[in-house]
Every structure is written in C-alpha cells, then in structure tokens.
Amino acid sequence: MTRPVACRFCGADLTCEACDFGDQPLANNLVPMDAPAAPDPRFPLRVMVCPACLLVQLEQTAEPAAMFADYSYLSSVSAFWRDHAARFAAVAVDRFGLTGESLVIEVGSNDGTLLGQFVACGIPCLGVDPAANVAAEARRRGVPTLTAFFGEQTAAALARDGKRADLLVANNVLAHVPALMDFVRGLALALAPGGVLSIEVPHVLAMLEGAQFDTIYHEHVFYFSASVLRRVLAAAGLAVFDVQTLATHGGSLRLLAQHAGSGRHPATRSLDRVIAAERAAGLERPERYRTLADAAARVVGGLRKFLDRARMDGATVAAYGAAAKGTMLLNAAGAGAADIMFVADANPLKQGHRMPGCRIPIVPPDRLADARPDFLLVLPWNIADEIMQATSFIGAWGGRFVVPSPVLRVIAP
C-alpha cells in the first residue's frame, strides 16, 4: 500500500475523512477453492475528501498490478451492460459521424463488449486493457486489443503509430487509476484534434444519496462529481461540452469532451444544470461526505440483523452476484459461510473460487434449483431487476429475494 502526502490532483493536504472501513480484502481478488485456510490479505480502506478541490479519494492505494493483471470481471455477462453498450454505440455512430475511416479507441476495454458494436458496423477499433486474460477474450471476439496500462507513455506510442481516436472511450476506468493526471494527459494525447472523448464514471452524488458505500473498494481510488471532473479534464487541455446522467451503477455521469479551443461541438447547458444540482446537494462542503459513514452503518446493520434472524429461524440463504460490491458488503457485515451457503454467478471466471475475506464459495446459477434456498440475497443491487427476472423460479418453492441497499427489502417473485 502507498499513502499519498497530498491530493492526487491539486496537491493539498488530505485532512478531511469521509469514512473509514478499516482493513478490507481486495474485492476482486477471488480465492481458489482449494486455497489454505489462512486469512486473506487485508488493506486499509479509508476515504478522504480534499478540502481544496473536493476530489474524493482513497487515502492509500494498492498496486494496480495486484488487481488488474488478471481480472475476473467480464462486461458481456450482464444483459444490462450489453444493451447499454449497444445503445451507446448506435448513438455515437450517428452523432459523431463515425465511418470506416474513423478510429474508436476504448481504454479499459475489458472483453470487447462495447468495441464489438463498432466492429460490427465496420468501424476500425482498438482496445487497451491491462488484464491479459480479458484482453485475450476480446481478441477472440475479433476486437483488436493492446494489453497495457494506459497513460502518457502508452498514448504517445499510439500517436507515433498514427493511432489517435476520433472517438475515445473511457467508461468506468478513470476511478481506478492512482496516477490520475498521467492518465488524463494520456487521454488528451490519444484524442485526435477533432475527436470526442466519452467518459463514464459513477456519480458521487448518487453514491451519497443512495447509501452506495459498497461501491467503495481498493480498485476505486476516486469518486467524482461533474464539477471536479470538469476541472481535472481542463488541467489536461480538455473541455467538457455535454454531460448526461445515467442509471448505470446506481447513478453515473457520461461526460463528453474535446480539445479546448476546438469548438467543433458547441457546449450544452446540461453541465451547468448538473453542477447546480451538486451545489444544491451540498457537495461543495467537505462535511457533506461524512454522511456516507452513517449510511454504511445503517445498511450493514440491516443485513447483519437479517442474517442473524434467518439463522435463528433455521432459514437458508444463498446470494447472487460475486461482484466487488458484494465482497465489500459481506465483509463489512461480517458474513461468512455459516450465514450464506454460496454465491451464484454466471461468470465462468468466478465459478470455482471463493469470495475474498468471507470465503463464501462461488457456484454456477443452476445450483440454486438444487439447493432451494429460502432467501436469495441480491448483491449487485444495481442490476437487481435483471437478476430477479432471471431467477424468478425460486418462487416455485417459496423462495424470496433480499435486496440489501439502500434499505433492506424482502421481495416475493
């Protein structure tokens, strides 16, 4: 772990704590089923707010190679994410006039779910992702992919090869990069003079309003508002010209930017509206972020109370979705194999492992029909509707769903 002496953007001392979750395991570092019983490594997870620029960030960070060199998340597993990618690609092709002469680059391209949409339209693409296993999967799908950590050095090498993007996409990756400005300056280098940069990030306002503390884990170094992210991009010569609010991840932002001074895309009023909403919600006050600790205590307490009652009543509980947020929630609640039989997940890269820290086994979804649990705990609450629809068969034996956040709900199929 490394501890910064100052804000990773503006350099001010990090003196304002938002919340402290103590020592937690790396959320996506799944444990082999036959691993020794020794405790998994844990690292401090403390969230700070810069009192000067209001960038929300972890106090300490883990080495990126420890989390991303071999990765278990696949974008293509979720129908929601496949549909999200298809909608974005269709709009982008039309709005930005992309053709077979254009180049689309995605940073943090995962298994090529998004870029595959552009490939199908005959538009040249390149993915950049540090995880060798998912990059190989993208190439198998026909998406050219460079296995590398992105930053100024990688962007400069691409530019030397004549690869600058007419559309540069960085979806749900900016929060993962400790060297923030190296990454953002790399984006500026990789963007063609008349190109468009599209960034999606979870919105810190949604996190605060929805008690989404379980989106805090070591992979997520930063938690952005539109106001702060506009300043970060401006520091690298990039100007935001539009912003959209999205339902993804419980509430996200999509910011569209171009090189400052290019003037190709006129600015909309949407950015002003979003920033005004952030200001009205108190995001300009560092103390506003301290409410997250109270929200976390409420959600964790609700889940712990439910699990204790289920054990007392002799009811069986399984979970669905071995997502990072599930790791965070289960460990914060002190849950273990005595509370939850297993976590079902459709991702084959996760099956046959255990959740970090709590060591609950991960199994294919068909195990649910054999085990017939009384309750199914939906860990990725952001796609709860998709999961409950896919597993509605639990109603055949009287099973019920449990959605733990922002307030625990028990739902009959």
Closest of 303, 305, 332 to residue 319, by C-alpha: 303
pLDDT in tens, 326-371: 999 999 999 999 999 999 999 888 999 999 999 999 999 999 999 9
> Which comes out higher in pLDDT, residue 77 or 145?
145
Read off the pLDDT band of 64 (50, 70, 90): low
Indicate if the pLDDT at residue 118 is higher than 70: yes
Indicate if the pLDDT at residue 244 is higher than 60: yes
Q: Fold for domain 67-281?
A: Rossmann fold (3.40.50)
Read off the pLDDT band of 278 (50, 70, 90): very high
- On whether the CB atoms of residues 61 and 221 are closer than 8 A, the answer is yes
Indicate if the pLDDT at residue 68 is higher than 60: no
Q: What amino acid is encoded at 412 in this protein?
A: A
Share of the chain above pLDDT 70, in %: 96
The rounded distance, in Å, linking the Cα atoms of 181 and 195 is 20
Instruction: Look over the chain and give the mean of its residue pLDDT values, rounded to a whole number.
Output: 92
Residues 273-288 have a mean pLDDT of: 95
**pLDDT for the residue numbered 71:** 62
Tell me the Ramachandran region of residue 259: left when phi exceeds 0, alpha when psi lies from -120 to 50, beta otherwise.
beta
Residues 224-241 have a mean pLDDT of: 97
**pLDDT for the residue numbered 21:** 93
- On whether the CB atoms of residues 205 and 277 are closer than 8 A, the answer is yes
Instruction: Kindly report the pTM of this predicted structure.
Output: 0.90
Place of tokens 């919105």: 203
Indicate if the pLDDT at residue 67 is higher than 60: no
Residues 73-101 have a mean pLDDT of: 88
**pLDDT for the residue numbered 52:** 96
List the single range of 26-35, 83-92, 374-383 with lowest mean pLDDT. 26-35
pLDDT in tens, 129-162: 988 888 888 899 999 999 999 999 999 999 999 9
Q: What amino acid is encoded at 86 in this protein?
A: A
**pLDDT for the residue numbered 62:** 76
**pLDDT for the residue numbered 199:** 97
> Which comes out higher in pLDDT, residue 152 or 247?
152
Q: Given strand 145-147, what is the order of strands in its sheet?
A: 145-147, 125-129, 104-107, 165-171, 191-202, 252-259, 238-246
**pLDDT for the residue numbered 72:** 66
Indicate if the pLDDT at residue 232 is higher than 90: yes
- Are β-strands 165-171 and 145-147 bridged in parallel, bridged antiparallel, or unpaired? unpaired
**pLDDT for the residue numbered 80:** 80
- Please name every residue paired with 181 in a beta bridge, in sequence order, or none if there are none: none
Which residues fall within 8 angstroms of residue 372, CB to CB, at 6 or more apart? Answer: 316, 394, 397, 399
Indicate if the pLDDT at residue 1 is higher than 80: no
**pLDDT for the residue numbered 4:** 58
- On whether the CB atoms of residues 303 and 310 are closer than 8 A, the answer is no
Indicate if the pLDDT at residue 313 is higher than 90: yes
Asked whether the domain spanning 305-411 has the same topology as the one spanning 67-281, the reply is yes
Domain definitions of the chain by residue range: 67-281, 305-411
Which residues fall within 8 angstroms of residue 167, CB to CB, at 6 or more apart? Answer: 92, 96, 98, 102, 103, 104, 105, 195, 196, 198
Residues 200-227 have a mean pLDDT of: 93
Share of the chain above pLDDT 90, in %: 79
Indicate if the pLDDT at residue 400 is higher than 60: yes
pLDDT in tens, 37-52: 888 889 999 999 999 9
CATH of domain 305-411: 3.40.50.720
Indicate if the pLDDT at residue 16 is higher than 60: yes
Residues 284-297 have a mean pLDDT of: 92
Q: Given strand 16-24, what is the order of strands in its sheet?
A: 16-24, 43-49, 56-58, 222-223
Indicate if the pLDDT at residue 76 is higher than 80: no
